[in-house]
C-alpha cells in the first residue's frame, strides 16, 4: 500500500532523523521510499518540513490534500501544514489535548513534551511522536522501526538505545490505549 507522510517541526527537533528512520524501516520491508528534506538555514530553529512517500512514486513532494499522515512536532505546525492532509488522513500533534484547534477532528494530540519530561528523556520527543504516528496509521510495524533504531544506534551506549526504543513504545501505547 502507498503512503504519503508529512513530518514537520522546528530545526533541531529531529524531524529529519525520524523521517529517515521510518523511511529505512519501510525500505527494509522491501518497499520503495522517496523523501524530501529541509536543509540549510532553516535548520537553525526555523520551520522544518519533510515529505516521505512509501510505494510507487516518482515525485519526492506531497501535494496539498494528499497526505495520509501528518506528524507535527510543534503545536503551531498543525495549522501551518494541515492543508497537506487528504480528507481521510490523520494528524498527530505534540500538544496537550486542550489546545488543539477547533474543527480538526482528524488531529490527535500526543503530549510528547510531557511524556519526555516524565521519563527524563527530553531528546526523544520525536520518537514518542513517531510511535504515536504509526499507532494511528500503520505505515510500518513498530517492530521494524525498533529494529532500525538498533541498527542506527549500534555504536551508541546501550542506555541511549533503550531510551529511544522506550520513547517509541510509550508513544505507540499512549495512542493505542487512548483510541
Partner 1 sequence: MSRVAKGHDRSLMLGNEALARGLVENGCRMATSYPGTPASEILSSVAAWKKSEKLDRMHVQWAVNEKVAFEIAYTGSIAGLRTAVAMKQVGLNVASDPFMSAAYLGVKGGFLVISADDPGPHSSQTEQDSRLYAMSAKVPVLDPDSPGQARDMTGVGFRLSEEFEIPVMIRPTTRVCHARQDIEKKKVQRNNVEAVFEKNPARWAATPKFRYKLHNQLEEKLKKIALWKETAPVCLNPSVQSKKAIIVSGVSAAHAKDIVRELGVEGIITLYQVIQPYPLHTQFIEMVLKKHDDILVLEETTGVIEMQLARSDRVKGKNSGHVPETGELLPEIIEKIIADFLSVKSGSKILETKPGRRPTLCAGCPHRASFFAIKKAAPKGIYTSDIGCYTLGMNLKAVDTVLCMGAAISQAAGFAHAYDDKKRPPIVATMGDSTFFHAGIPALIDAVVQNIPFLLVILDNRTTAMTGNQPTPASGKDVLGEPVTAIDIEKLVKGCGIKYCRTANPMETDKFIPLLKKAVKYSQNNGPAVVISRSPCLLSLPNEELRENYKRVEITDTCDGCGYCISHFECPAMVMDKEKEKVTLDRSLCTGCGVCVHVCPKKSIVPAESSNVEGS
Residues at the site binding partner 1, with contacts judged by CB under 8 A: 1-2, 10-12, 20, 23-24, 27, 30-47, 55-61, 63-65, 74, 76-77, 79-80, 83-84, 122
Q: Helix (H, G, I), strand (E, B), or coil: what is residue 179?
A: coil
- Residue 133 · residue 26 · CB < 8 Å: no
Q: How far is the CB of 20 from partner 1 (least distance, A)?
A: 7
Give me the least distance between CB of 82 and partner 1, in Å please. Answer: 9
Q: Which of 18, 3, 12, 34 is nearest to 145 (CA)?
A: 18
Distances (CA, A) of 54 to 111, 135, 138: 27, 17, 12
Shortest CB 104 distance to partner 1, Å: 15
Residue owning grid cell 504515536: 132
Minimum gap (Å) between residue 66 Cβ and partner 1 = 9
Task: Tell me the C-alpha distance between 94 and 108, whole Å.
Answer: 9
Q: Which is nearer to partner 1, 63 or 99 (CB)?
A: 63
* Cβ proximity to partner 1, 65 vs 178, nearer residue: 65
Min. distance of Cβ 37 from partner 1 in angstroms? 5
Specify the residue, 74 or 146, whose C-beta has the smaller distance to partner 1.
Answer: 74
Which residue's CB is nearer to partner 1, number 76 or number 97?
Answer: 76
Of the two residues 20 and 163, which places its CB atom closer to partner 1 in the complex? 20
Dihedral pair phi/psi, residue 86, rounded to 5° = -85, 170
- Grid cell 505546525 is found at 77
CA distance 35 to 15: 12
Amino acid at each position: 500500500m502507498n503512503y504519503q507522510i508529512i513530518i514537520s517541526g522546528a530545526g533541531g527537533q529531529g524531524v529529519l532523523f525520524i523521517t529517515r528512520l521510518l523511511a529505512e524501516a519501510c525500505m527494509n520491508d522491501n518497499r520503495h521510499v522517496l523523501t524530501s528534506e529541509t536543509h540549510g538555514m532553516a535548520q537553525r530553529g526555523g520551520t522544518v518540513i519533510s515529505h516521505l512517500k512509501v510505494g510507487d512514486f516518482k515525485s519526492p513532494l506531497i501535494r496539498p490534500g494528499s497526505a495520509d499522515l501528518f506528524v507535527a512536532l510543534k503545536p503551531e505546525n498543525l495549522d501551518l501544514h494541515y492543508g497537506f492532509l487528504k480528507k481521510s488522513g490523520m494528524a498527530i500533534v505534540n500538544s496537550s489535548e486542550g489546545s488543539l484547534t477547533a474543527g480538526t477532528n482528524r488531529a490527535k494530540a500526543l503530549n510528547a513534551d510531557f511524556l519526555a519530561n516524565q521519563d527524563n528523556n527530553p531528546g526523544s520527543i520525536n520518537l514518542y511522536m513517531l510511535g504515536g504516528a504509526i499507532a494511528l496509521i500503520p505505515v510500518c510495524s513498530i517492530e521494524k522501526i525498533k529494529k532500525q533504531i538498533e541498527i542506527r544506534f549500534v555504536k551508541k551506549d546501550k542506555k541511549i538505545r533503550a531510551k529511544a526504543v522506550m520513547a517509541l513504545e510509550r508513544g505507540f501505547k499512549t495512542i493505542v490505549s487512548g483510541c
